[in-house]
Structure 1
């Protein structure tokens, strides 16, 4: 190791200089000394000139995502009404959990919040030559409070000395200065005020020979600054603030998905566990909200340690749940420090806490939202909704995850060489282009939970040459990196768990039978198919890549651009006109025709995965019923009572009608055939269908039923439906009995409503699906039409 001396110690450039030039000089120095490129630090949205007093040697900034939680109804001494809170965090589900608690509290009448006191302490120490001298000093110091008030006023007009408490420890006297600091947290101003008071004390004592200290310091750790202390928990440091709510039984059941008794039982057990662990106070996770709001609003983030100490209590009262949270040491401010930075100032403004007179309001808001999270988390654990995220993170071995930079020339070159029939083809460049296309809903939801590897859709422009010296060509490619089926299954189960109630209880038993198993190998196999009818509707495929060891399953295909219409029209189904619908129906019917009557061949394919049977659907009725009950309770504006009754009847009769469905001729179906996953080529309106991960063996009418439910209006008339059903049948070929075909369509429609629509309703609880209202209305209308046709 090289020895570093004062002469060789590295000198950082621009120390004390807050100019942009100095920032860039420090960035160059950091690159040189670290050997890292640091491209994200090249530009900073923060003007360095605004940072004196906030940070030294500034080199850049860090942008953290901020989510909105709430709104939460607060009834306090300083805040009244609905408040939405900005939470800066990278912890998934935290904002959602706070929002759930806020909704429950608000629906039950809101939370009462109240600042009890506001204090800031600074504790200088004076050491003397003996115990007696120290004791005399302690008595003398208390008598000087009036003069110390005047000294403090010369330094700070906001610091008011409310207590002066000497604590003698041997020959040392720690003199607790306890201040009120208005809207500032006060650490800095009280330090300056206390230093002025210490100077005055030192000057007075120097004139009194028998009280001269041998040593003094402005702080010796008794204040507990940025540390938890029992002294401050009782005596106060920061703002002492409380929040309380009473949530009625119906709201606990409907919103928190549990019962008051279940939450109370867990609370009583957790109190004993906290005592055994030596936990100061008792709390669940209030520090989550405190840290997130501190970061968003420019508070002193290190103060989270002492501010996060909390006393959370619960009791059942007349069948309702009463919850109380006390934050004895919330060190916050609405002015000073980082609260003046532009973004932090804006978030404070959104809370109505920007400037003088708003410090207490901010403290009450923080406490209210911390209570919301404690209530939500405790209810989630009590109700069995606390999904174990570690399940999807656990691996028995280390995995070399697929990364975005793996999707370059080494991966694409052999694919393009084979696809173009050019063995010597060489890829010379790969660059991202445009915004990433919409991923399938399955991939999108999974990507939220799986952050360690690349999952999703990436558009690339690939530059290549066939041989040396040839002019380069460019091809636009979309690379789709798929999640594992296990990851999708776990993420869906997590959503069900967060829904609570019977759905959270039932879903785990059937999560492997909801159609997701095998999806990561199924779709690449579809894209490798040589069946002409299938290839006719697939995007041009350049190749697939599979490496189970890296959990990598990748498809490279053409980028669908101006050459197609109606792409990603799932949220705007009204764009599909009659000619468009007919073109899509004819296109998918070609695939159905190619595989119809070849059920044995399909079943022999390893990639096909599980195929539903009447027996399986029957025993899964408890899941379909739980999904229906949840959807009807959570989204009555989407699924009304009449619709729920109709679906409940269909579920009850599954043993009879699914047996009939199973006996009908089956084929390869897309399984997710809707405007989110299809488009038409502009030149001839030929179908392009992608996202085949849910492909399976089913009656061909299953794709037709789903597609019509998405693209037809909710007031569709029977003749229009009949026209498309007949078109689908005629395209498959002659000899199919119309009545039998129509009956199959009716049962396929029922199957779609039970196995897919109800899952959409579950997802809608956590991630708004804009298309769901129209889809549900149209599905119910189509079912009603078929009931009329069947007589």
Structure 2
């Protein structure tokens, strides 16, 4: 069989965007894809090596994604070839013009977003077509010193409110003495929360003027026809220049464009003990590529790892992970994927002597992220596109007011200038189009750097000039980031590029616009009609908190006071904090002196010298804790999830957490303090943002950090905890007004939970997809139903007995103090203290300490024991059925809120105990609901289908 001969006016689909089909042969149906199409036929690629012949008729053909009756009949085979990769390539033709015309309309609407074939009648450019094209386009020096420390601060959901916006506006007007007459006017004024994930400290909008260039005639696979080009800019004559180039290109028949590839790069670096280890690691990674690929792709349902390249240098190994990312630009997405892969690699090679692995960092500056670089220019980062046009001499001279010979002579000088300056690529001002479209459509504007690296190349040909362009690194997306904001989405809609399946179309339009502008600008430069201006901005930063250099004997003396004697010296003692998730993550996030630190203080007392073992807890403020959470959400690769997380973060109780524990130790009842560590002193310095607690060293207690396994927790020790927990809960049982206001505990709030329902549902969806073995389909349904009516459920929980709860009551935050004839519970880390149902603490403790095979009878045994203890200590009677009902609602709330957050973190941190603990919680919920009958409790918000 001969090779297939090229057709006229053939259009080719990108290999990842080929329409799928099936066709009939000899009574059987076979699957394939369409790789090329033209005015009267198309090319089928299939892996079924069938005995076909030229001239044979294929009885039926259907697009897999089309309607039920969308068939073509009697397709004639015009060419056949067996490819080198064991695929069969078949060209087919349709002679029934009416059937083919109907098929074309449906085909183009379904797969190309337009209803006419590129190059067909009605889309060709001509001088007489500009009027109709236009109608299509129309449819579619004083300074003031400002005290930054005085600016109003808001966190969580309060940050994105009208109240917060107006407070910042008033502060800015007062600090500068200037009225915000225009900045404060914006479409975001009534609903600032929609900006979560896109901006901070919102005060208004800089309303960049938006103009429409073109329309421009594009002849591509995904973009075909005239497209208006939205440009947000303050540069005069830019839109006129683009439109001038568009007019010339339209008259010449339009610009041909084609997407060549998509590649998003993340480039970590691994550190080994020596060069030999780095080389061995490179070999090891190449041998394990398939597993690394699977690990990377496990963090995203969209990103696909297409290659991995290693570059040893000294004792380091740089690695480039290259992905395809669908319709998202994918920078956060690929960071998440690469992080998961790197964590797995580090764990797998840490004990291989020949590699001598030390550490890694997620980006070694080889990705080219937002920087001009040769790697992105040569191999691509983002979407690659090529564009071409041929312009007749007469048309060029008439529009550009110089001959092609004059133009090329001047361009020769420009190319020499580019070579002498070492320009990466060579073009005039692709960046102008990119900055304008990026701003208008919500792209990451900083990526203009790398996206603008491309080649613009004219050459004399036949009776005119042929001009070609390549943009190898368009970092763009049509979903995620700022593309969902109202005006940005409208600009994408103008071009038919909003949402999924549109990124390649946007790339083709951008490439065409860059070519049109460079033609116009280069000609204007040649005739001395060019002006350009720009400016730069910067920002400052400051340092706060406690410095390591401040930790002196005098520092400890100021915390202890005089009652313990004089601090003469101190020793630093190692402290194991591996089980503290937040502490370890904060250490990775900042180099500041934070976390838990153990010391031996040498005291001179009246009775003689003593050593006092202490732990200094240097606290992060709530802002840093929330930033940490937001960072985890962003690493999920889901832009909507991270945006919701930032705007609805209040649900996790982090606001004020850095002060709550300090206030509790200072103001809470002594009856509760007997279950806390001894506190020697605290630091609460708002001006310096310094917060610390000097407390008793609990290392002599048993069951410290006993979280890794349930084996340490027998019935006796669980009983001690539950009995003391009941006594602790009894202190403020149903006495909300008795809790000191300074503690500012979190409370059950129906409105707050309802505000966060969208985030909780998004987290549930995400975690179910990532961890289907943990969050079963049944549990997923139960949690989702609970969240959809969460305000009613929280209202029911509020009607039940409540008390001051720890709200993070697990073996990470408690121990057993050994007394002469017994043990006593000691609880620390009260940051999340809340006023809620006592069952919450009890339930959380049991899911961490009961074995995975514990029966419901064992669960009931411990819950009943706790209930009886609470009755005794609190002097109340608790109905068993109502108690169990509220326990179940607390379990669902725990799953919907706290453990949805834990699973999100587990996606990156791989917490060793999470599977056991989560399955315990899951089993309690599902089995209790299965055995509870129609338990609708007190009625409010009950969901009969799930027995809530």
| TM-score (ref. length: structure 1) | 0.54
What displacement does 1:407 show? 3.0
Contact 1:669–1:699 (Cα < 8 Å) also in 2:
yes
CA apart distance, 1:735: 1.9
Which residue of 825, 847, 857 corresponds with 1:719? 857
Relative to structure 1, is the Cα distance of residues 694 and 547 closer, same or farther in structure 2, using a 3 angstrom cutoff?
Answer: same
What does the per-residue CA deviation read over 1:306-361, in whole Å, with 9 as the maximum and x for residues that have no partner?
Answer: 9878535257699xxxxxxxxxx9xxxxxxxxxxxxxxxxxxxxxxxxxxxxxxxx
Q: What per-residue deviation string (whole Å, max 9, x for no partner) do you get for residues 148-172 of structure 1? A: xxxxxxxxxxxxxxxxxxxxxxxxx
Structure 1 contact 426–465 (Cα < 8 Å) conserved:
yes
* CA root-mean-square deviation: 4.7
Give the Å deviation of 1:661: 0.5
Look up the match of 2:664. 526
Structure 2: give runs of 5+ residues left out of the alignment. Answer: 1-268, 274-281, 336-361, 386-421, 423-471, 484-537, 934-948
Query: How many aligned residue pairs are there?
Result: 483
604, 612, 631: which is aligned to 1:465? 604
Please show how residues 282-681 of structure 1 align to structure 2 within 5 Å: 288-289=365-366, 311-313=378-380, 383-384=480-481, 398-417=542-561, 421-422=563-564, 425-438=565-578, 440-451=580-591, 453-467=592-606, 471-501=608-638, 502-529=640-667, 531-562=669-700, 564-602=701-739, 605-681=741-817
SS at match of 1:692: coil
Change (3 A) 1:290 1:646: closer
Aligned to 2:271: 66
How big is the shift at 1:712?
1.5
* C-alpha distance in 1 between matches for 2:671 and 2:618: 25
User: 2:848 matched to which residue of 1?
Assistant: 710
The structure-2 alpha-carbon separation of the partners of 1:528 and 1:385, relative to structure 1 and needing over 3 Å to count, comes to: farther
Aligned twin of 2:182: none
The answer on whether the counterparts of 1:669 and 1:703 sit within 8 Å (CA) in structure 2 is: yes
Task: Name structure 1 gaps, 5 residues minimum.
Answer: 1-63, 69-75, 86-95, 116-182, 186-240, 259-284, 293-303, 319-328, 330-374, 387-393
What is the alpha-carbon distance in structure 1 between the residues aligned to residue 542 and residue 309 of structure 2? 48
Rate the CA distance shift 1:601–1:411 in 2: closer, same or farther, 3 A.
Answer: same
Deviations along 1:201-236, one digit per CA (max 9) or x if unpaired, are xxxxxxxxxxxxxxxxxxxxxxxxxxxxxxxxxxxx
1:325 maps to what in 2? none
Rounded to whole Å, the distance in 1 between the matches of 2:570 and 2:473 is 46
**What's 2:307 paired with?**
111
Given the superposition, is the C-alpha separation of residues 105 and 619 from structure 1 closer, same or farther in structure 2, using an over 3 Å criterion? closer
The answer to whether the Cα contact below 8 Å between 2:677 and 2:828 also exists between their aligned partners in 1 is yes
* Cα deviation, residue 629, structure 1: 1.1
Q: CA deviation at 1:436?
A: 4.4
Alpha-carbon offset, residue 588 of structure 1? 1.7
Residue pair 2:368, 2:376 contacting (<8 A) in 1 also: no
| Conservation of the 8 A alpha-carbon contact between 2:328 and 2:476 | no
8 Å Cα contact 1:485-1:520 kept in structure 2 = yes
How big is the shift at 1:439? Answer: 6.8
The structural deviation recorded for 1:448 is 2.5
| Structure 1 residue aligned with 2:906 | 764
Q: Which residue of 2 aligns with 1:148?
A: none
Determine whether 1:774 maps to 2:900: no
CA distance in 1, matches of 2:319, 2:597: 49
- Residue 450 of structure 1 deviates from its aligned partner by 2.8
Instruction: Report if the CA contact (8 A) 2:625-2:654 is conserved.
Output: yes
Contact 1:409 1:429 in 2 (8 A): yes
Change (3 A) 1:315 1:535: closer
Please tell me whether the aligned partners of residues 638 and 772 of structure 1 are also in contact (alpha carbons under 8 angstroms).
no
> 1:51 is matched with which residue?
none
Q: Could you report, residue by residue, the CA deviation over 1:89-112 in whole angstroms, capped at 9, with x for unpaired residues?
A: xxxxxxx99995897799846428
Question: C-alpha separation between the residues in 1 aligned to 2:313 and 2:669?
Answer: 72
Deviation at 1:694, TM superposition (A): 0.8
Query: What do residues 71-122 of structure 1 show as CA deviations (whole Å, max 9, x unaligned)?
Result: xxxxx9999543599xxxxxxxxxx99995897799846428699xxxxxxx
| DSSP-derived class of the 2:927 partner | helix
* Structure 1 position 491, deviation (Å): 1.2
Does the aligned pair in 1 maintain the 2:333–2:635 contact within 8 Å?
no
Judge conservation of contact 1:705–1:752 (CA < 8 Å) in 2: no
What does 1:9-20 correspond to in 2, within 5 Å?
Answer: none
> Cα offset for 1:635?
2.3
**1:682: how far off?**
3.6
CA spacing shift, 1:380–1:485, aligned 2, 3 Å: farther
CA distance in 1, matches of 2:666, 2:578: 22
| CA 788–82 in structure 1, closer or farther in 2 if over 3 Å, else same | closer
Is residue 840–residue 891 contact of structure 2 (8 Å, CA) maintained in 1? yes
CA distance in 1, matches of 2:899, 2:627: 19
Match of 1:784 among 901, 904, 926: 926
Please list the CA deviations of residues 435-458 of structure 1 after superposition, one character each: whole Å capped at 9, or x if unmatched: 34457433333332232x311000
> Does the CA contact (< 8 Å) of 1:380 and 1:498 recur in 2?
no
Q: By how many angstroms is 1:542 displaced?
A: 1.4
Q: In the alignment, which residue of structure 2 is the partner of 1:178? A: none
SS in 2 for 1:575: coil
Deviation (angstroms), 1:543: 1.7
Deviation at 1:642, TM superposition (A): 2.9
Per the alignment, residue 301 of structure 1 pairs with: none
1:537 positional shift? 1.1
Contact 2:746-2:832 within 8 A present in 1 as well: no
Indicate conservation of the 8 Å contact 2:302/2:325, yes or no: no
1:254–1:741 CA distance, 2 compared to 1 (3 A)? farther
Question: Contact (CA 8 Å) 1:431, 1:461: kept in 2 or not?
Answer: yes
Contact 1:443–1:483, Cα closer than 8 Å, also in 2: no
In the alignment, what sits opposite 1:695? 833
1:586–1:728 contact (8 Å) kept in structure 2: yes
Work out whether residues 332 and 635 of structure 2, in 8 Å CA contact, stay in contact via their aligned partners in 1: no
> CA separation in 1, counterparts of 2:854 and 2:473?
43
SS of the equivalent of 2:683 reads strand
Query: How far, CA to CA, are the matches of 1:106 and 1:77 in structure 2?
Result: 28
Q: Offset at 1:681? A: 2.0
Q: 1:585 to 1:287 in 2, by over 3 A?
A: closer
- Post-superposition Cα deviations, 1:650-686, rounded to whole Å, max 9, x if no partner, equal 2223233221001112111001000111111244221
In terms of fraction of residues, the more helix-rich structure is 1
Q: Deviations 1:611-654 (Å, cap 9, x if unpaired)? A: 23122212311111111111112223432333322322222232
Q: Shift in Å at residue 479 of structure 1? A: 0.6
- Kindly state the Cα deviation for residue 257 of structure 1 after the two structures are TM-superposed: 8.0
Separation of aligned partners in 1, 2:301 and 2:327: 12
SS at match of 2:782: helix
Report the secondary structure of 1:428's partner residue: strand
Greater shift after overlay, 398-407 or 755-764?
398-407
Within 5 A, what are the aligned runs for 1:13-412? 66=271, 81-82=287-288, 108=304, 110-111=306-307, 247=324, 249=326, 256=333, 288-289=365-366, 311-313=378-380, 383-384=480-481, 398-412=542-556
Q: Tell me if structure 1 keeps the 8 A contact 2:729–2:803.
A: yes
